[in-house]
Amino acid sequence: MDTFTGIYEQAAQRKGGEAALEALLVKPKSKAVLRRTADAAVLAEMTKCVFRSGFVWKVIENKWPGFEAAFDQFDVASCAMLSDEDLEGLQQNTQIVRNAKKIASVRNNAQYILDVRAEHGSFGKFLAGWPDDDFVALWDELKQNGDRLGGQTGRFFLRFIGRDTPMFSNDVVKALISQGVIDKTPTSKAALRAVQEAFNQWRSESGRSYNEISRTLAFLV
């Protein structure tokens, strides 16, 4: 496995220099900003990521005002109280994507957020307080306790809400394979642990966020 310095130099060479590479790297939100994130914004981002999964993202973006109206601007208490009849009615709403299971996920994830809020004060505080060096456990937390927030959907949610996390794009997976970290897309506990250890080592060496490390790896391919 190369040092991050070596990986960075290779990526910079491919992208036309360090300045060009730096312009492509996105940093996560600070812990202070993440703590202030409203729970409605969290539910909205969860919903957007759930509906994007397996669908054309542009369609979700175009319909987003309809989603906001249908789900009361993602007020968490209101969405958590949606009845089964309400959910059935939403399945007839042409202003949103009428996928019954994904519509039901809004209520379920609102309830999840309320549970987290009761213990931590808000979902943003919960995310900000999660140990930085154990993103794999955070992925599992979302998968186990959220609805339809496993795999890439959960990782996209974290990335877009501003919580530092790597992504498993095809290019990142290829780079991790070339670095000898894994031999295929990581799904087993052992493979995910190997990824965690590699990213933690690169972060310790460089002081970079997981976001930046992940993006830099992608540019090796």
Query: What is the tens place of the pLDDT at every residue in 98-125?
Result: 999 999 999 999 999 999 999 999 999 9
Instruction: State how far the Cα of 85 lies from the Cα of 43, in Å rounded to an integer.
Output: 21
* Residue 9 and residue 75 share a domain: no
Task: Give the per-residue pLDDT at 194.
Answer: 97
User: What range defines the domain where residue 61 resides?
Assistant: 32-161
- Percentage of residues in the chain with pLDDT exceeding 90? 99
46 lies in the same domain as 63 = yes
46 close to 149: Cβ distance less than 8 angstroms: yes
- Could you read off the pLDDT of 131-169 as tens digits, one per residue? 999 999 999 999 999 999 999 999 999 999 999 999 999
User: pLDDT value at position 157?
Assistant: 98
Q: Is the domain of 101 the same as that of 185?
A: no
Task: List, in order, residues 6 or more apart from 216 with CB less than 8 Å away.
Answer: 4, 7, 8, 11, 21, 25, 208
Number of domains in the chain: 2
Nearest Cα neighbor of 42 from 145, 118, 123 is 123
The number of beta carbons lying within 10 Å of the beta carbon of residue 99 is 14
> pTM for this structure?
0.95
- pLDDT tens digit string along 53-94? 999 999 999 999 999 999 999 999 999 999 999 999 999 999
- Token pair of 177 as six digits: 């394979």
Judgement on whether residues 57 and 148 belong to the same structural domain of the protein: yes
- Same structural domain for residues 52 and 23? no
CB 186 within 8 A of CB 195: yes
